[in-house]
Structure 1
Amino acid sequence: MTPLLSVIIPARNEATALPLLLADLAPLRAAGAELIVVDGGSSDATCALAAAQADKVLETSAGRALQMNAGAAVARAEYLWFVHADTRVSAASIRHLLATLAERPIWGRFDVRLSGSGLALRLIGTMINLRSRLTGVATGDQAIFVAREPFEALGGYADIPLMEDIELSGRLKKRARPRCLRPPLSTSSRRWEHDGIWRTVLFMWRLRLAYYRGVSPDQLARQYHRGPPL
Structure 2
Amino acid sequence: MPNKNSSISVIIPVLNEELYLGKLLNHLKSSSSNIKEIICVDGGSVDRTVEIAEQNGAKVIHSERGRAKQMNLGAKLSNGDILYFLHADTFPPKNFDQSILKAVENGFMAGCFRMKFDTKNVFLRFFAWFSGINLLLCRGGDQSLFVHKQLFEKTTGFNESYHIYEDTEFIARLYKNTKFKVVPDFVITSARKYREVGVLKLQFHFAVIHVKKYLGADAEELYRYYKKNIS
Query: Structures share a fold, TM > 0.5?
Result: yes
Q: Confirm whether residue 88 of structure 1 aligns to residue 91 of structure 2.
A: yes
Q: Report deviation, 1:19.
A: 1.0
**Which residue of structure 1 lines up, in the alignment, with residue 26 of structure 2?**
23
Q: Structure 1 residues 63, 228: CA separation in 2 closer, same or farther (over 3 Å shift)?
A: closer
Q: Which amino acid aligns with 1:61?
A: E
Paired position in structure 2 for 1:57: 60
- How far apart are the structure 2 equivalents of 1:3 and 1:57? 23
- 1:162-198 deviation digits (Å, cap 9, x = unpaired): 2211221121111223100121101110111221111
Q: 1-side partners of 2:34 and 2:155: how far apart?
A: 29
The equivalent of 1:69 in structure 2 is 72
Question: Residues 36 and 228 of structure 1: is their aligned pair in 2 closer, same or farther, counting only changes over 3 Å?
Answer: closer
Compared CA separation, residues 179 and 23, structure 1 to 2 (3 A): same
Amino acid at match of 2:11: I
Report SS of the residue matched to 1:173. Answer: helix
2:13 to 10, 14, 22: 10
In the superposition, relative to structure 1, how do residues 137 and 121 fare at CA in structure 2: closer, same or farther (>3 Å)? closer
CA distance in 2, matches of 1:77, 1:89: 18
Change (3 A) 1:146 1:49: same
Residue 146 of structure 2 is aligned to residue 151 of structure 1 = no
Q: Which structure 1 segments of 5+ residues have no match?
A: none
Question: What corresponds to 1:213 in structure 2?
Answer: 215
Work out the CA distance in 2 between the residues paired with 1:119 and 1:136.
20
Q: After superposition, where does 1:1-230 map in structure 2 within 5 Å?
A: 4-27=7-30, 31-130=34-133, 133-135=134-136, 138-159=139-160, 160-228=162-230
8 Å contact from structure 1 (residues 50, 57) kept in 2: yes
1:155 partner amino acid: T
* CA deviation after TM superposition for structure 1 residue 3, in Å: 5.8
Q: Deviations over 1:117-175 (max 9, x none)?
A: 22222112113443xx2337632111110011111011111112122112211211112
TM-score scaled by structure 1? 0.90
Aligned residues of 1:3 and 1:33 also touching (Cα < 8 A) = no
Unaligned runs of 5+ in 2: none
Cα deviation digits, residues 25-63 of structure 1 (max 9, x gap):
114675342100001111110011001224410111210
Q: Count matched residues.
A: 226
Please give the secondary structure, in 2, of the residue aligned with 1:201.
helix
RMSD: 2.1
Distance 1:37 1:178 in 2: 25
> How far off is 1:110 after superposition?
0.9
Residues of 2 paired with 1:121 and 1:6: CA distance?
30
Q: Which runs of 4+ in 1 moved over 6 A?
A: none
Q: Quote how far apart the aligned CAs of 1:109 are.
A: 0.8
What is the percentage of aligned positions where both structures have the same residue?
A: 29
The answer to whether the 8 A contact 2:43-2:63 is kept is yes
